[in-house]
Amino acid sequence: MCVSPVNTIRDLSGHSGCRVMLCQAGGDPFIRKQSTSFAYNERLKRQLLKQKHFNMDAVRTPAVLGAGYDGGFFYFDMEYIPARKMAESIEHLDIEDILHFLDMLFESLPLRRKKPGARAAALFSRKIGAVTRNLPRREATVLEAVRKLRNFDFSTVPHSYCCGDLTLENILVTENRRIYLIDFLDSFYNSWMIDVAKLFQDLEFRWSYRSLPKDIHRELKLRIAKEVLVKKVVDLEEGVSKLYMIYHIILLNTLRILPYTHDTPTLRYLDRTMGDVMKRIDVIKEYL
């Protein structure tokens, strides 16, 4: 923990109930992530623990430097990584580089973990119940998504370490081609499949780009990366079943966002994605 007075150099974007600041206290700059409500304190603590226990082969995470409270709000400090977000870098990177990073990420996931958590079915069922109760709209597509989720057997989702929010926004790429993961999420269930689902949300459904104008270079690179990711999953043992499960997790994620969404680009994203994910689920089912 820092002993010199902490200066906030600038605020960085932070949409998930936290304030993220670039700070300095005498020496090198560092990042402080702070809860903005007392209610969020415990969640941020769990996220900090996830970051501390991070253990992937070729991928890193910023070192945690300390933690504490400021005005009753929990915060933790971490190493500042001078890097660009993968979401922004994708337009500038060669496709070979993108595939290299995808390789590093995928191979670092605990893919060989097969054992489900004892309470997998109960936790997913509880989540689906909570999401359904919260739904602001109940038109045909939404009801069909709920039906698909209720009918799906989540009891065999492998239980393993995961980051929880592996979008391209939360992957930092340094100049010397190192990858750092940030913004760990305390998920209701931990599985590497949740991370792969988040990757698909960007590579196939463009979650991180929903508010940006289309860009042909980005589009082509994302398409290639998505096809490569599909192949990687399908090539795993019982790969098609795994892919089928991952697309159900994407569907659940999509539905989960609906109650919190008020902006037009995100509403459009959700409408489009829900239908597209269900079409994909139906196609994959034919190969089971």
Ligand X SMILES: Nc1ncnc2c1ncn2[C@@H]1O[C@H](COP(=O)(O)OP(=O)(O)OP(=O)(O)O)[C@@H](O)[C@H]1O
Out of ligand X, Mg ion, none, what residue 262 binds, judged by CB under 5 to 8 A for its kind, is none
Tokens at 37, concatenated: 């409500």
Comparing CA positions, the residue from 238, 287, 281 lying closest to residue 114 is: 238
Q: Which residues contact 107 (CB under 8 A, 6 or more apart)?
A: 57, 58
Quote the least distance from Cβ 266 to ligand X, whole Å. Answer: 12
Looking at residues 56 to 115 of the shown chain, list those that interact with ligand X (rule: CB under 6 A): 62, 78-81, 85
* Partner interacting with residue 85 (select from Mg ion, ligand X, none; CB below 5-8 Å by kind): ligand X
Radius of gyration of the chain (CA): 19
Give the x/- contact pattern for Mg ion in 152-171, rule: CB under 5 A.
------------------x-
CB of 48 to Mg ion, least distance (A): 15
Q: Which residue is nearest to Mg ion (CB)?
A: 183
User: Cβ neighbours of residue 287 under 8 Å, at least 6 residues apart?
Assistant: 240
Closer residue to ligand X in complex, CB, 169/195: 169
Q: Is residue 275 involved in binding ligand X (CB under 6 A)?
A: no
Site for ligand X (CB under 6 A): how many residues? 19
Q: Using CB under 5 A, which of 183, 195, 202, 204 touches Mg ion?
A: 183
How far is it, in rounded angstroms, from Cα 186 to Cα 44?
Answer: 8
Looking up tokens 């010199």, which residue turns up?
4
Report the length, in residues, of the chain. Answer: 288
CB of 163 to ligand X, least distance (A): 11
Identify residues 104-123 at the interface with Mg ion (CB under 5 A): none
Residue number, 183 or 204, with CB nearest to ligand X: 183
Cα–Cα distance, 37 to 18 (Å, whole number): 8
Please name the residue that has the structure tokens 């409270």: 69
Footprint of ligand X on residues 134-173 (CB under 6 A)? Answer: 169-170
Strand order in the sheet with 171-173: 84-85, 171-173, 179-181
Say which DSSP state 158 is in: B
Of residues 204 through 263, those in contact with ligand X by CB under 6 A are none
Nearer to ligand X, 31 or 120 (CB): 31
- Contact by Cβ (8 Å): 179, 172: yes
Distance in Å, CB of 165 to ligand X, minimum: 7
Minimum Å distance from CB 81 to ligand X? 4
Q: What is the identity of the amino acid at 82?
A: P
Where does this chain bind ligand X (CB under 6 A)?
Answer: 12-16, 18, 20, 31, 33, 62, 78-81, 85, 169-170, 182-183
